[in-house]
Structure 1
């Protein structure tokens, strides 16, 4: 999946060869997963084998699970910054085409894909979680956190980096995570998997800038309980959840 210059999402679709199961229908490139593979590894391999796509230019956003009990379909959602060249790499496809999101339902779809497309398309947008670290650390209220704000912020970010965040649709979710730190916590070290933004001044202002700089088609969720900040980012189209949304997933009570 990729977005064009005005934010229209495009999905790479495969027209199945006539001799295959449900031949002549449209769906996603894919196939059987090897016993040693996870869903992402398998999907990237199949994308290369069927569409000559390489994984270097793709960012995996999540995995949708369609579980039938004993067997399942796993749809891996990945995005590219540009429209990658794709062509049938074996006899399983008669055509590969990038289709705008609103064009997909108009094709003759593979029944399995058609049954889940309504839910999958709602999870296609890139998603960014913005952490108001000072606010979340205060809500976490570790003993003595106010005496070592940098240490408390570092522990929070390390915990978040090791967490598999829950999503209402996706079985696995890999959002972009941006953590805004300020004041005494600006010295936190880099944490793999998290973009740390050190506020030059107000942390709230820095969060507003992160939201403002996001792409128009991106879903942005700000984690904060600060009422004034919630109003400011809401005006920019961001969604808001309180610190408890995150802390409950970390096992905090």
Structure 2
């Protein structure tokens, strides 16, 4: 394994030639302003490159030791000077061509980053309204995936009903509710490093959602771990979950994990989606 060991041409089962022996990935950065349309950062490829003059994403060949996210972040820094600390990765779209794949890493930025060409592979970088992107001269591969990718750019807020999730598996949680909740929290935090799969109705291969866990009763002393926010309910845990759903950003897709029928109905009435604990527990190691 070595840097740039992915450089080279590959032929997919469709008979197309692609750059990247181990596949490739690119970074799609999305910015939303309050009350405004979302914009995406697009790169115009230099004339000498493959499909030069078209618009697409900062990206390139994946090295054998890299994940799709690592490749996309590296390439965006090399080609556009994007600092990984200025964005938040939200998900990965997998475009399989048979024997070769391109993975679009979707990320969000709180501001329109002042990105400029950082090497000769880019001739321009511009923030484009999402609704206008389809009308541009897009890289053929990007144009093919854009309808699916553009429909999956909304970030996800995952709200966890900790008491209900803990109570759904018979592991002796009733002997130590706080300990069982802490174990669940640690497992969720660890899984987020790899992403979550199988989001209902989703098109992405993996998601990296913003996660809020609501705790109550004996578990109120559990402290946050990693990127998981922990909210201790002052009163009813169900009421706190409902308020968390209500406080979500307008563009966030909200998914609540609970099996409580009454809570499911209250959250659904606010436009949130609801799924049972098994979906989450099956992914945890």
TM-score relative to the length of structure 1: 0.92
Matches within 5 A, 1:18-57: 18-57=47-86
Residue 50 of structure 1 contacts residue 93 of structure 1 at CA under 8 Å; is this kept in 2?
yes
| Secondary structure, counterpart of 1:85 in structure 2 | coil
CA displacement at 1:245 relative to structure 2 = 1.7
CA distance in 1 between counterparts of 2:210 and 2:73 reads 20
1:108-139 CA-to-partner distances (Å, cap 9, x unmatched) read 11111111112212221111110001111122
The reply to whether residue 220 of structure 1 matches residue 249 of structure 2 is: no
Q: Which runs of 5+ in 1 are unaligned?
A: none
The reply to whether residue 113 of structure 1 matches residue 142 of structure 2 is: yes
| Secondary structure, counterpart of 2:75 in structure 1 | helix
Size of the alignment, in residue pairs? 250
CA distance in 2 between counterparts of 1:56 and 1:193 reads 14
| Secondary structure, counterpart of 1:18 in structure 2 | coil
CA distance in 2 between counterparts of 1:117 and 1:103 reads 12
CA distance in 1 between counterparts of 2:211 and 2:197 reads 14
Q: Which residue of 2 aligns with 1:184?
A: 218
| Secondary structure, counterpart of 1:160 in structure 2 | helix
CA distance in 1 between counterparts of 2:204 and 2:259 reads 25
The reply to whether residue 152 of structure 1 matches residue 192 of structure 2 is: no
Matches within 5 A, 1:1-253: 1-6=30-35, 8-143=37-172, 145-163=173-191, 164-167=195-198, 168-250=202-284
Pick which of 204-213 and 36-45 moved more. Answer: 36-45
Q: Which runs of 5+ in 2 are unaligned?
A: 1-29
CA distance in 2 between counterparts of 1:180 and 1:208 reads 10
- Cα 1:47–1:151 change in 2 (3 A) is same
Which protein is richer in helix relative to its size? Answer: 1
CA distance in 2 between counterparts of 1:152 and 1:240 reads 22
CA displacement at 1:158 relative to structure 2 = 1.9
CA distance in 2 between counterparts of 1:138 and 1:148 reads 11
| Secondary structure, counterpart of 2:271 in structure 1 | coil
- Cα 1:39–1:249 change in 2 (3 A) is closer
Pick which of 98-107 and 165-174 moved more. Answer: 165-174
Pick which of 154-163 and 218-227 moved more. Answer: 154-163
| Secondary structure, counterpart of 1:152 in structure 2 | helix
